[in-house]
Amino acid sequence: MRYTTLSVGVLEIDLQHANIDQLLFELTDENRMLVVDRITNALIRHFLAEERLCAEQGLLMTDEHRREHERLSGVLRMLQDQIKKEDPDRETILRTYSNILVEHVTRFDAFICERETSGGGGGR
Ligand SMILES: [Fe+2]
Ligand SMILES: [Fe+2]
């Protein structure tokens, strides 16, 4: 229960969030550097996929949300380097990613189903 703290209501996006949570569940003291690399790559790919899916399905992807993906991608790269240098324990790593994911999903992803054009305007 991190990225999947709440369902955004789009199957493909919820599945990608669940996959990222799954990577966090797999984190151990032994494999943590490998898993951090996987989570970083999976998240950065996911942000792009989420933007594409929203565009394809006419879902709400605000400029603010897009900018946050960009900012977070930078943060995630920095974090990856920092973890390699400082070698924190599994719990610290888990807590750090959990906080990032819960914050992102509740502040941004939660609203993508509030479609950009909600009726009112003729045409289909
Ligand atoms: Fe997402
Ligand atoms: Fe997002």
State the distance from the centre of ligand 2 to the C-alpha of 70, rounded, in angstroms. 10
State the distance from the centre of ligand 2 to the C-alpha of 19, rounded, in angstroms. 15
* pLDDT over 50 (residue 120): no
pTM equals: 0.89
State the distance from the centre of ligand 1 to the C-alpha of 94, rounded, in angstroms. 18
Q: What is the pLDDT of residues 98-107, one digit of tens each?
A: 999 999 999 9
Q: What is the pLDDT of residues 33-49, one digit of tens each?
A: 999 999 999 999 999 99
Smallest-distance ligand from the CA of 61: 2
pLDDT at 3: 83
State the distance from the centre of ligand 2 to the C-alpha of 50, rounded, in angstroms. 6
Higher pLDDT, 118 or 92: 92
Q: 19-28: long-range contacts (C-beta < 8 A, 24 or more apart)?
A: 20/46, 20/101, 21/101, 24/94, 24/97, 24/98, 27/90, 27/93, 27/94, 28/90
pLDDT at 2: 86
- Considering the domain 3-111 in this protein, what is its CATH number? 1.20.120.50
